[in-house]
Structure 1
Amino acid sequence: MTVPEIPRTMKAQFLDAYRQPYSFRDAEVPATSSPHDLLVKVDAAGYCHTDATLVAGHFAPNPPSFPHIGCHEFAGTVVKLSEGASPAAKNFPVGTRVGIPSCSFHPCGTCFECTKEAGPDSDAPGYSVYCAHALSIGVDQHGGFAEYALADARQVVKIPDGFSSVDTAPMMCAGMTIYAALKKCDPQPGRTVGIMGCGGGLGHLGLQFATKMGMAVVGVDAADQPVELAESLSTGAWIVDARKETANAVVKELGRREGKKDRGEMGVDCIVILTESQKAFDYGVQLVKNHGTVVVVSYPVNGFNISAMDIVARKISFVGCLLSSNKLATEMLEFAANNGVKAVQRRYPLSDLNRLVEEYHRTPGGKLVVDMSM
């Protein structure tokens, strides 16, 4: 294969300060510095809630250094490997199409997270998405709102044949996160899962994944456009408008459908919380039957209040889900390609990123994607 010519400069969108628009200007193409590094020509880049949180100055754990190139969910084509490329990097020769998530750029490989024994959905020892010493692409390491970006070969995912880069980009955060959350719900036929925020970026993908996994699904949202988006997918999920139906009414209807008599056995087996509202959180917890599971994905600035009675008297379990392992990300993307799971998208050229951001704040629902071919 002919090695593509790589320019010295590129176009990129920079964040120069919190709560400011992006600045579109020239930048140097990044240089590889590790045997694991891949230089990727970006083909598509998704805009995520985390991008909005970072711009607002609320992403305290890993604040960026300015000027900063954001985007932690993107896809592209490998155009260069480092000198003395590692075995991991050699798995992605020039021309390979890859999806790039934020997590674990240059992990240390020696901390307790990196060396602990691998579980069924985790990566082999030596690499961990939870490494406290790693960088996060798009957060404290330059990301995908640029024509070229660096990726760590241990964190990328090969794009299946027939799946486009534009379809892949939203999967590198939204898809990975909701898939990992659903895996914590023991997905199998006969199980019922609820999704709070079912018309958002993660939620509408969750409706598709969960129904394709064979679960019965209750999707809940509380705004016109997200509800309309969720209903338009025709997944077979029961879409509930929380403004019109109480949680108690939903639980009773689930009980009627399943022939249950006691209140404690009525409801969903698991609920995934994607919203930041305490009211929505409480609504979701009310939907869970006794001994059920609440998977918390969102992390509002002020946190959530959890009732001790739900833990003690109803024996409900609460578990968090932030990241997906590389192993699970690969499984997710193959599942999506094989089952037709795709994000509902609106596309913009890189030069129009600020207009994309305005659209994000004006019309929630689905995913907004920078398409480099535009």
Structure 2
Amino acid sequence: MGLEDLPKKMKAVQVVEFDKPYQINEVDVPTKLQPTDLLVKVAVASNCHTDGMVQHGVFGSKLPQTASHEGAGTVVAVGGDEAANRGFKVGDRVMCGLPLHPCGKCHDCQGPENQTQYCMNLDPGHVGVHTDGCFAEYVKVDSRSTTALPDEVSFLSAAPLACAGRTIWRGMLQANLLPGEWLAIVGSGGGLGHLGIQFAKALGLKVIGVDARDEGLSLTKENGADIIIDARKGKEAAVKDVHAATDNMGADATLCISDAQSAAGLGCAVTKMHGLMVQIAQPDNVEIPFAELIFRDIRIHGSLICSADESKSMLQCIAEHGVTVKTNAFHGLEKIHDLVDMVHGGKIQGKAVIIVDEEQIEHEKKLGAKF
């Protein structure tokens, strides 16, 4: 099958006006590919907190904007030799990349490899943020940031892993802990958090899960956190409980994935002196009491999504250790409004996804996809 054999039109869920509901429109299939591009037939697409930011106009996206930067599916066209030389071919199952067309010339593009995803000269930008995304039947992605799926990893898991998984995995790598050390996760019962617990356990870490919702605390327990902290009891109580479990030291490192106003400060407070707090959540302002920085020497490190090699290592970890993604699946792009209602209802556990192509889901079962 070539590009000429593909449909000319497809359904897509789009932002057509900021702060207004999504619309389902008929749009052109993106068949104009550059040599590094892949055209992917979407199997599953996932909702992320960032999608709400796109809807609110935070990134100044050009409208109409097809939503979702978390997608997985099957390659149906390869743009040219640059993509083919990276090992991609028609029929490959992939986790879609987010950055589309990095410049290849800036300091970050030149390496080290685990900084390449920071290119500030993307043209047109990030899939689902600045250019059309995965809530569609087809999506154009860049082979330099797209990752082939092991047979063991399902589309249903791979879609939310495209951003949520990549993000929490890189935070874990930035923490740079050894087996047996303590990792705290503030926001442990959400889409990123429940993955972070499983990744940490797979790496031999001990986990302190911190959340402020009954649903989040339940999911934290379900995924195997060693210590569970209810943030609603306040900072002092949280610090006391963490110190009781860690010989009065605190967590060796902490990942903050909650955008609550007090989350970053709490993340620092439960971290041991001279320890690292990795800020992943994106509130308008990260608020940290000066005493954590000055008197306790807490180091703050921001983190984004994975690079290409880091993404491969994440999928390898999943294939080996059986990390699973908690998903709430909706069938068909027409269910987008039901998905949004669930996400905004405040009761969701894990990630909300849309199965775009049921046929691909059935096909991968024959491959033994189980995670």
| Structure 2 length-normalised TM | 0.90
CA distance in 1, matches of 2:235, 2:100: 41
Q: 2:40 is matched with which residue?
A: 40
Q: 1:372 is matched with which residue?
A: 356
Unaligned runs of 5+ in 1: 261-265
CA distance in 2, matches of 1:76, 1:258: 43
The Cα offsets for residues 248-300 of structure 1, whole Å up to 9 and x where unpaired, read as 4444444444445xxxxx21111111111222222222111111111101121
The answer to whether the aligner puts 1:107 opposite 2:102 as a matched pair is yes
The answer to whether the aligner puts 1:343 opposite 2:303 as a matched pair is no
The structure 2 residue matched to 1:118, chosen from 112, 117, 134, is: 112
The answer to whether the aligner puts 1:132 opposite 2:120 as a matched pair is yes
Q: 1:263 is matched with which residue?
A: none
Q: 2:293 is matched with which residue?
A: 311
The answer to whether the aligner puts 1:9 opposite 2:13 as a matched pair is no
1:11 partner letter: K
Counting matched residue pairs gives: 353
2:159 partner letter: A
Q: 2:167 is matched with which residue?
A: 177
Matches within 5 A, 1:264-303: 266-301=249-284, 303=285
1:101 partner letter: G
The structure 1 residue matched to 2:229, chosen from 240, 243, 252, is: 240
Q: 1:86 is matched with which residue?
A: 82
What is the percent sequence identity of the aligned residues?
35
Return the offset for 1:373: 3.3
Calculate the aligned-residue CA RMSD, in Å: 1.8
On the 8 A contact 1:270/1:292 being kept in 2, the answer is yes
2:344 partner letter: H
Q: Residues 89 and 39 (structure 1 numbering): CA distance in 2 closer, same or farther, change over 3 Å?
A: farther
Matches within 5 A, 1:351-370: 351-362=334-345, 363-370=347-354
Q: Which runs of 4+ in 1 moved over 3 A?
A: 2-5, 87-90, 246-260
On the 8 A contact 1:38/1:150 being kept in 2, the answer is yes
Q: 2:364 is matched with which residue?
A: none
Q: Secondary structure at the match of 1:227?
A: helix
CA distance in 2, matches of 1:251, 1:67: 46
Q: 2:144 is matched with which residue?
A: 154
Once the two structures are overlaid, the 10-residue window that deviates more, 215-224 or 31-40, is 31-40
CA distance in 2, matches of 1:56, 1:360: 16
The structure 2 residue matched to 1:73, chosen from 70, 75, 82, is: 70
On the 8 A contact 2:231/2:238 being kept in 1, the answer is no
On the 8 A contact 2:256/2:264 being kept in 1, the answer is yes
| Structure 1 length-normalised TM | 0.89
Return the offset for 1:335: 0.7
CA distance in 2, matches of 1:81, 1:291: 48
Unaligned runs of 5+ in 2: 359-371
Once the two structures are overlaid, the 10-residue window that deviates more, 337-346 or 43-52, is 337-346
